[in-house]
């Protein structure tokens, strides 16, 4: 377990990104500083800045008053994601002799950290801040480069890479354009994906899943408001997709059982990455292979900014390279796979009727593909369907001290994953059977259904029990696993320093503490009468051993009749949007003309989180790994249909 310093940086990274930590020192011989006319000393200087996860240290070598070299010597950033910034930002600083360089898209936290560290080093070398931050001269003239392809794929996440590889392997000349510096998108952040069958599953003695049964469950859960044809194609193709990916270098293993507890019997098709931090590189290898072996090219840091249309048909895409070149790419088919709009808070809130949700997904996915299609008249579908998943607790940023990472995690996160405390909405009504916390999708949906936040209520007695004995002593029956942590809510061992950590959150204003419920209502804004009624019933139910409101497990009804009370403000997280552009059974984007049956926009396709149709108004908890399963399978299918359109051929992925 890593020490607090590292963990705290993760919790605080957003806050810290805005506070310059300028520490610089000279590692050259201080006795004989070789000072140039511009005030800069020659030598090698160290500087430190705040990256996305933790401190970044650089060494800057100054020669003849110029920045000769910038080297990142220490960091805690996530490999792959940060690499582009670590390679690119130092050389840009040297090239322009300025720290006013653009961040690398998708690695802005790391980019800013390197710039901060370099600034610190330069200041310690005697630099003038204005000199080293001088604006970089940019070429004002627009350079346009014309390109042509059979198929253009916009976005290099799971859906885009699958589409590009499928199209290229079936003979299409493919161009992939990606907004950020690396492939993978949200897909490279996830744990695993659904597949109905695989060599690996069979080698473990698992039979192929009954996709007829899963189809019925799925469509039942969606009240048939999803597109049956798309759901069917996704499930059926998923019999082959895991093997297809493994053959192309994605490393994963079949999970023996589903992680989330409400996933139904007979639906475990969860294939988990062996090491999800490698997914980006492995998807990158898939692209490298089609560049080497087929007729394909990939442009990173080149976001699509518009579609080219002529007489109602899409003829290509315009993309903006970070090299200053605007690409006009003519193509017979265009696949939109830009990963939805999780990073666009306005669009998310509009889709959720005003409710705001933290984006814990890929924040550069801001709806580009969807908006470009809407501009061409496309219909949308189920925009409110989102992968609402996990909670966020206010106040973690106020915790300081030399604690173990898990101690901090328990105080700032595990407290939101306890079935033994009542969950109250903004008015003070209890809104759920808290036992649903064992399923992230259901519990997060329940919170979002209440608006922007909820209050999870503890008292001092309960916090003391957790600290001294563990959650089992307060009645909790099963612990909770999360991500890499097998047990975030220990039942039999005390939660070290819990009260100390919580008091810091109280002092910072993140957690509300009050001696009485009346006072708590006042502090939190809950309605006093409602809160008193809610808690009177809850406590009486706890004494009687029955939850008359929601029928929660009796053991989980912990009485909270004495203050001081602690109300933790809990907000929901959004991993990815899951509704988007309406597509037909051939993955073609369709016009918003229901009166004539949604006619296709010629040559335009969509896949992954850009494409709606798999869901009604919510993400399905029927199967685990559905979002990534959809990304890969819809990507393969959209890639095949796009290649068919471009090459005038037939591609049957189901009988390959
Ligand atoms: C932390 C986390 C964990 C998750 N875990 C799981 C899980 O275990 N299982 C699961 O099923 N789902 C999971 N999800 C959700 C799932 O990963 C996504 O829904 C899915 O991967 C989306 O795939 P995609 O290809 O549509 O989008 P992405 O993988 O996001 O790819 C979209 C790509 O398009 C690029 N792009 C955006 N705009 C442009 C533009 N204008 N021009 C060019 N390129 C552009 C982006 O940079 C990105 O690379 C998780 C999500 C998160 C955030």
CB-neighbour burial class of residue 110 (10 A; exposed 0-12, middle 13-18, buried 19+): buried
- For ligand 1, atom 6: residue with the closest CA: 190
| Cα 153 off chain centre by | 21
Is the pLDDT score of 3 beyond 50? no
User: At 16, is the pLDDT very low, low, confident or very high (cuts 50, 70, 90)?
Assistant: very low
Mark whether 85 and 158 lie in a shared domain.
no
Would 25 be classed as within a structural domain? Answer: no
The 10s digit of each residue's pLDDT in 597-635 is: 999 999 999 999 999 999 999 988 778 899 999 999 999
The 10s digit of each residue's pLDDT in 289-304 is: 999 999 999 999 999 9
Query: Is the beta carbon of 218 within 6 A of some atom in ligand 1?
Result: no
What pLDDT sits at residue 580?
Answer: 97
Q: What's the CA gap between 144 and 141, in Å, rounded?
A: 10
49 beta partners = 56
Other C-beta atoms closer than 10 Å to the C-beta of 169 total: 19
Token pair of 647, please?
């090459």
What pLDDT sits at residue 25?
Answer: 43
Token pair of 557, please?
């009804």
- For ligand 1, atom 8: residue with the closest CA: 191
Query: Is the beta carbon of 276 within 6 A of some atom in ligand 1?
Result: no
Distance 365 CA to ligand 1 centre (A): 8
Distance 574 CA to ligand 1 centre (A): 12
Q: What's the CA gap between 193 and 172, in Å, rounded?
A: 27
Interval 456-475 mean pLDDT: 98
Would 355 be classed as within a structural domain? Answer: yes
Would 11 be classed as within a structural domain? Answer: no
Mark whether 379 and 403 lie in a shared domain.
no
Greatest distance between any 2 Cα atoms in the chain: 83
Domain of residue 94: give its range: 43-133
Mark whether 377 and 420 lie in a shared domain.
no
Higher pLDDT, 102 or 404: 404
Distance 649 CA to ligand 1 centre (A): 30
Q: What's the CA gap between 404 and 54, in Å, rounded?
A: 16
User: Is residue 485 classed as helix, strand or coil in its secondary structure?
Assistant: strand
Query: Is the beta carbon of 535 within 6 A of some atom in ligand 1?
Result: no
Query: Is the beta carbon of 335 within 6 A of some atom in ligand 1?
Result: no
Distance 406 CA to ligand 1 centre (A): 28
What pLDDT sits at residue 139?
Answer: 65
Domain finish residue from 512, 542, 574: 574
Mark whether 369 and 446 lie in a shared domain.
no
| Cα 117 off chain centre by | 27
The ligand 1 atom nearest the CA atom of 319:
42
Distance 459 CA to ligand 1 centre (A): 40
Mark whether 260 and 278 lie in a shared domain.
yes
Interval 140-167 mean pLDDT: 95
Rg of the chain taking only CA atoms, in angstroms = 27
CATH number at residue 120: 3.90.1010.20
CB-neighbour burial class of residue 499 (10 A; exposed 0-12, middle 13-18, buried 19+): middle
Mark whether 168 and 128 lie in a shared domain.
no
Would 7 be classed as within a structural domain? Answer: no
Q: What's the CA gap between 222 and 220, in Å, rounded?
A: 5
Domain finish residue from 574, 595, 616: 574
Distance 188 CA to ligand 1 centre (A): 7
CATH number at residue 446: 3.90.700.10
- For ligand 1, atom 27: residue with the closest CA: 339
The rounded mean pLDDT for the chain is 91
Count of structural domains within the chain: 3
Is the pLDDT score of 10 beyond 60? no
CATH number at residue 599: 3.50.50.60
Q: What's the CA gap between 221 and 508, in Å, rounded?
A: 42
Would 29 be classed as within a structural domain? Answer: no
Would 67 be classed as within a structural domain? Answer: yes
User: At 513, is the pLDDT very low, low, confident or very high (cuts 50, 70, 90)?
Assistant: very high
Q: Which of 78, 84, 106, 157 to mutate to test the pocket of ligand 1 (most atoms within 8 A of CB)?
A: 157
Higher pLDDT, 68 or 266: 68
Query: Is the beta carbon of 368 within 6 A of some atom in ligand 1?
Result: yes
Mark whether 97 and 152 lie in a shared domain.
no
**Any idea which residue has 């990916």 for tokens?**
245
Mark whether 255 and 170 lie in a shared domain.
yes
Is the pLDDT score of 515 beyond 80? yes
Mark whether 556 and 588 lie in a shared domain.
no
**DSSP H or E stretch at residue 50:** strand 43-50
Domain finish residue from 523, 555, 574: 574
Other C-beta atoms closer than 10 Å to the C-beta of 79 total: 12
What pLDDT sits at residue 4?
Answer: 37
Lowest mean pLDDT among 87-96, 208-217, 402-411, 528-537: 87-96
Distance 627 CA to ligand 1 centre (A): 9
Would 257 be classed as within a structural domain? Answer: yes
Would 1 be classed as within a structural domain? Answer: no
577 beta partners = 386
Mark whether 453 and 563 lie in a shared domain.
yes
Query: Is the beta carbon of 153 within 6 A of some atom in ligand 1?
Result: no
Is the pLDDT score of 158 beyond 60? yes
Q: Helices (DSSP H) in 453-527: which residue ranges?
A: 460-468, 498-508, 517-524
pTM here is: 0.86
* Nearest partner of 126 among 215, 187, 208, 37, judged by Cα: 37
Mark whether 114 and 238 lie in a shared domain.
no
**DSSP H or E stretch at residue 446:** helix 440-448
Mark whether 367 and 451 lie in a shared domain.
no
Distance 30 CA to ligand 1 centre (A): 50
**Any idea which residue has 């959720």 for tokens?**
352
């Amino acid at each position: 377990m890593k020490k607090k310093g590292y963990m705290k940086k993760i919790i605080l990274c957003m806050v810290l990104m805005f506070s310059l930590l300028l520490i610089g020192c000279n590692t050259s011989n201080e006795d004989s500083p070789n000072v140039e006319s511009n005030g800069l000393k020659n030598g090698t200087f160290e500087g430190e800045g705040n990256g996305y996860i933790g401190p970044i240290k650089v060494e800057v070598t100054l020669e003849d008053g110029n920045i000769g070299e910038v080297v990142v010597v220490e960091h805690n950033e996530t490999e792959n994601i940060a690499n582009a910034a670590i390679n690119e930002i130092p050389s840009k600083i040297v090239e322009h002799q300025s720290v006013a360089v653009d961040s690398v898209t998708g690695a802005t936290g790391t980019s800013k950290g390197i710039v901060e560290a370099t600034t610190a080093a330069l200041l310690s070398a005697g630099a003038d801040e204005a000199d080293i931050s001088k604006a970089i001269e940019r070429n004002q003239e627009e350079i346009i480069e014309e390109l042509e392809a059979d198929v253009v794929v916009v976005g290099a996440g799971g859906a885009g890479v699958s589409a590009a590889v499928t199209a290229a392997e079936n003979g299409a000349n493919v161009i992939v354009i990606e907004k950020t510096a690396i492939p993978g998108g949200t897909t490279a952040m996830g744990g695993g994906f659904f597949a109905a069958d695989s060599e690996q599953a069979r080698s473990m003695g698992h039979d192929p899943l009954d996709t007829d049964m899963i189809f019925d469950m799925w469509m039942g859960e969606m009240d048939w408001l999803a597109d049956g044809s798309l759901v069917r194609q996704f499930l059926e193709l998923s019999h082959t997709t895991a093997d297809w990916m493994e053959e192309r270098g994605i490393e994963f293993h079949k999970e023996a059982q589903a992680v989330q507890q409400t996933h139904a019997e007979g639906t475990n098709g969860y294939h988990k990455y062996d090491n999800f931090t490698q997914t980006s590189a492995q998807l990158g290898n898939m692209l490298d292979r089609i560049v080497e072996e087929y007729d394909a090219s990939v442009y990173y840091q080149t976001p699509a900014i518009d579609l080219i249309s002529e007489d109602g048909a899409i003829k290509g895409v315009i993309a903006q390279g970070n090299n200053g070149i605007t690409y006009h790419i003519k193509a017979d088919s265009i696949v939109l796979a830009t990963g939805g709009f999780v990073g666009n808070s306005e669009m998310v809130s509009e889709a959720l009727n005003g409710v705001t949700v933290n984006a814990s997904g890929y924040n550069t996915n801001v709806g580009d593909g969807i908006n470009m299609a809407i501009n061409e008249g496309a219909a949308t579908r189920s925009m409110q369907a989102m992968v609402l998943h996990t909670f966020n607790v206010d106040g973690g940023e106020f915790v300081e001290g030399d604690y173990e990472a898990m101690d901090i995690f328990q105080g700032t996160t595990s407290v939101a994953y306890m079935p033994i405390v009542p969950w109250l909405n903004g008015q003070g009504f209890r809104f759920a059977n808290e036992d649903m916390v064992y399923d992230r999708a259901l519990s997060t949906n329940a919170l979002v259904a209440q608006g922007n936040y909820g209050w999870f209520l503890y008292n001092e007695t309960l916090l003391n029990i957790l600290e001294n004995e563990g959650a089992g002593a307060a009645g909790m029956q099963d612990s909770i696993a999360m991500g890499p942590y097998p047990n975030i809510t220990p039942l039999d061992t005390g939660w070290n320093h819990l009260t100390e950590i919580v008091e810091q959150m109280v002092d910072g204003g993140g957690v509300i503490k009050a001696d009485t419920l009346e006072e708590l209502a006042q502090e939190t804004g809950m309605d006093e009468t409602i809160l008193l009624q809610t808690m009177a019933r809850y406590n009486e139910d706890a004494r009687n051993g029955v939850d008359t409101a929601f029928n929660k497990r009796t053991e989980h009804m912990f009485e909270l009749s004495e203050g001081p009370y602690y109300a933790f403000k809990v907000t929901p997280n959004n991993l990815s949007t899951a509704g988007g552009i309406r597509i037909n059974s051939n993955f073609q984007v369709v016009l918003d003309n229901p009166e004539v049956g949604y006619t296709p926009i010629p040559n335009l396709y969509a896949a992954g989180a850009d494409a709606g149709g798999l869901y009604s108004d919510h993400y399905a908890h029927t199967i685990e790994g559905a979002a990534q399963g959809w990304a890969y399978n819809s990507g393969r299918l959209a890639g095949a249909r796009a290649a068919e359109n471009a090459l005038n051929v037939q591609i049957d992925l189901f009988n390959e």
